[in-house]
């Protein structure tokens, strides 16, 4: 598998130079569903009803589910966490900490939602999308989002 991967990277690189059109990894609906199952299982295990939103590398929605008891306010929050994580290529926790530290200027950026629970989906150093979770405390949402994002490590094996 390792050889194929190196080869694949080589081809990506070659392609970019040769024809000036790059190649990128891309999330599929099948993968998004796997990520959601992992996140939902973690939420059930923690006994919390959440909304799970998964976007692609363009910030566009691929998959969404609202667990039965989840509050309606989490619909937009989960989506915005996912968009925030892919648009700025970092977990939303990073912004939570900055705003908590007094950096209110970040509130002027529409696509930033400064609460834990948004995590980029990274595959072989490519940001292929993001997951956003809302419904518990920011810390709980972060744990559930991570349970989903971690699936990428197994897929990569």
How many whole angstroms separate alpha carbon 67 and alpha carbon 62? 17
Name the minimum Å distance from CB 1 to a second copy.
Answer: 7
**Does residue 20 touch a second copy according to CB under 8 A?**
yes
Planar angle of CA 148, 153, 156, nearest 5 degrees: 125
How many whole angstroms separate alpha carbon 140 and alpha carbon 46? 8
In terms of DSSP bridges, do strands 51-56 and 61-66 run parallel, antiparallel, or are they unpaired?
antiparallel
How many chain residues are in contact with a second copy, going by CB under 8 A? 71
**Does residue 47 touch a second copy according to CB under 8 A?**
no
The answer to whether 141 and 119 have CB atoms below 8 angstroms apart is: no
Name the minimum Å distance from CB 61 to a second copy.
Answer: 6
Residues in 79-98 that interact with a second copy by CB under 8 A: 80, 84, 86-89, 95-96
How many whole angstroms separate alpha carbon 32 and alpha carbon 116? 20
Nearer to a second copy, 45 or 60 (CB): 60
Among 115, 118, 132, 148, binds a second copy (CB under 8 A): 115
Among 13, 41, 110, 137, binds a second copy (CB under 8 A): 110
Q: What are the distances in angstroms from CA 14 to CA 7, 18, 61, 64, 151?
A: 10, 6, 31, 36, 29
Among 2, 21, 47, 125, binds a second copy (CB under 8 A): 21
Closest CA to 8 of 120, 129, 124, 150: 124
Name the minimum Å distance from CB 139 to a second copy.
Answer: 13
In the stretch 22-41, what mask flags binding to a second copy with x, by CB under 8 A? xxxxxxxxxxxxx-------
Residues in 50-69 that interact with a second copy by CB under 8 A: 56-68
Name the minimum Å distance from CB 142 to a second copy.
Answer: 14
């Amino acid at each position: 598998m390792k050889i194929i991967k190196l080869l694949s990277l080589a081809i990506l690189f070659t392609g970019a130079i040769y024809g000036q059109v790059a190649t990128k990894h891309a999330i599929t609906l099948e993968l998004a569903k796997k990520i959601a199952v992992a996140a939902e299982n973690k939420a059930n295990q923690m006994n919390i009803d959440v909304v799970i939103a998964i976007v692609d590398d363009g910030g566009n929605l691929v998959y969404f589910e609202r667990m039965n008891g989840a509050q309606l306010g989490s619909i937009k929050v989960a989506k915005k966490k996912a968009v925030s994580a892919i648009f700025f290529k970092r977990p939303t926790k990073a912004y939570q900490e900055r705003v908590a530290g007094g950096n209110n200027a970040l509130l002027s950026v529409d696509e930033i939602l400064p609460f834990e629970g948004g995590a980029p989906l990274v595959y072989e150093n490519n940001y292929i999308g993001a997951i956003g979770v809302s419904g518990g405390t920011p810390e709980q949402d972060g744990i559930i989002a991570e349970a989903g994002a971690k699936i990428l490590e197994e897929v990569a094996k």
